A and B are shown apart, each in its own frame.
Chain A
């Protein structure tokens, strides 16, 4: 089954404790991206990647890092999480660009 898999589904952490949210797709997609969803703000793009070792900032990249060492994986790293990063995070992928995105099921992150 074609899918984008995010882990974990729920995560509670404390300020300053580094964490990684994993994202993996099995569709051989070149494009992958991360979004955060907040009430009243919709979905905002954090980072995107056009291919292995190619990443670029979206609209809200501050406080986040990403890496794309393999085509199928695109982890989101929070080196020093803060409470304002409490949000619902989605990973998405598509064949070549930001068109026709396939989304994961989301990761609900709470930073205390």
Chain B
């Protein structure tokens, strides 16, 4: 089955700096790669996603890049703000988008 590795597990940045979280996947058939943000005491919330036929996608301060050949994808957050502090999960879907495999999560702390 699919295996998703995510790193780093924790990340501290100064407010205004950029943050990058990286994930690799094992199943070359995976074709949808979402990122979820989980705030304390809440369920994960989708923040951005990318399909395998696209190399990069941006939404304001966040962007995701995908390298299908190397089987890795990354989340980029620019101009970080304290409210960006949360746990971020990457995921990969396979089996016709039915099975979803998550990474272990990255705890991002933005220091004011």
Contact = CB atoms under 8 A, between A and B. Distances in A.
A81 interface: no
B46 A104 contact: no
Nearest to B94: A98
A97 B49 CA distance: 14
B86 to A, nearest CB: 13
A97 B95 CA distance: 10
B99 A103 contact: no
Nearest to B4: A42
B49 A100 contact: yes
Interface of A: 4, 31, 33, 35, 40-45, 48, 50, 56, 58-59, 90, 92, 96-106
Interface in B9-50: 32, 34, 36, 41-46, 49
B44 A43 contact: yes
B58 to A, nearest CB: 18
Contact of A97 (B6, B36, B93): B93
Contacts of B105: 42-43
A48 B44 contact: no
Interface in B42-82: 42-46, 49
A41 B93 contact: no
Contacts of A106: 42-43
Given A42-B102, A43-B89, A59-B1, A99 B43 contact: no
